[in-house]
């Protein structure tokens, strides 16, 4: 069974019932759910689109990171390499999720503690925010959770 979780009357995400709410995964996340025993973790980080554009322009980074969905996704894609030793990465794929433009990519690698992991990142351009849905599991659980991670990301709805 799944449960629809609403955050601040802004967005909703449909999550499996075996995930429980936490606040220990990322201090910037507006949604954080996990199941430590099954090794599945889901967070959503929101970033104001105007604020993102302001930061890009202020830092004169428009050439490298255009102030749009592609630029925001590229920043996430490049910055993940700072915390994960990447062994495999998919190309960034264009999607539409419930009428909103989105991008998705996955990464396999090792954490700084040498734990093999599989990550799925889905970035959605909402009306006022970018939403980063980051999900991860142990690499040996990839086959078990890959489809479910995609279903979670595709359940995103702006309210």
With a cut of 90, say whether residue 105 has pLDDT above it. Answer: yes
pLDDT of 115 reads 94
Query: Could you tell me the residue ranges of all domains in the chain?
Result: 46-158
Question: So what's the architecture of 46-158 in CATH?
Answer: 3-Layer(aba) Sandwich (3.40)
pLDDT tens for 5-43 read: 999 999 999 999 999 999 999 999 999 999 999 999 999
What single-letter DSSP state applies at residue 141?
G
- pLDDT-based confidence at 1, cuts 50/70/90? confident
Question: Mean of the pLDDT values across residues 119-123?
Answer: 98
Question: Mean of the pLDDT values across residues 98-102?
Answer: 98
The model scores a pTM over 0.75: yes
Annotate 72-137 with DSSP letters as a single string.
HHHHHHHHGGGTSEEEEEPPPEEEEETTEEEEEEEEEEE-TT--EEEEEEEEEE-SSEEEEEEEEE
């Amino acid at each position: 069974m799944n449960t629809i979780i609403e955050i601040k009357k802004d967005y909703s995400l449909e999550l499996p019932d075996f995930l429980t709410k936490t606040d220990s995964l990322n201090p910037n996340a507006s949604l954080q759910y996990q199941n430590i025993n099954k090794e599945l973790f889901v967070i959503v980080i929101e970033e104001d689109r105007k604020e993102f554009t302001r930061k890009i322009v202020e830092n004169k980074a428009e050439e490298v990171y255009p102030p749009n969905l592609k630029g925001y996704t590229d920043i996430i894609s490049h910055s993940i390499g700072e915390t994960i030793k990447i062994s495999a990465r998919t190309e960034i794929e264009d999607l539409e999720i419930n009428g909103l433009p989105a991008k998705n990519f996955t990464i396999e690698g090792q954490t700084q503690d040498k734990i093999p992991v599989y990550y799925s990142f889905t970035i959605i351009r909402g009306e006022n925010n970018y939403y980063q849905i980051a999900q991860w599991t142990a690499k040996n659980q990839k086959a078990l959770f890959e489809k479910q991670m995609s279903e979670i990301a595709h359940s995103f709805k702006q309210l």
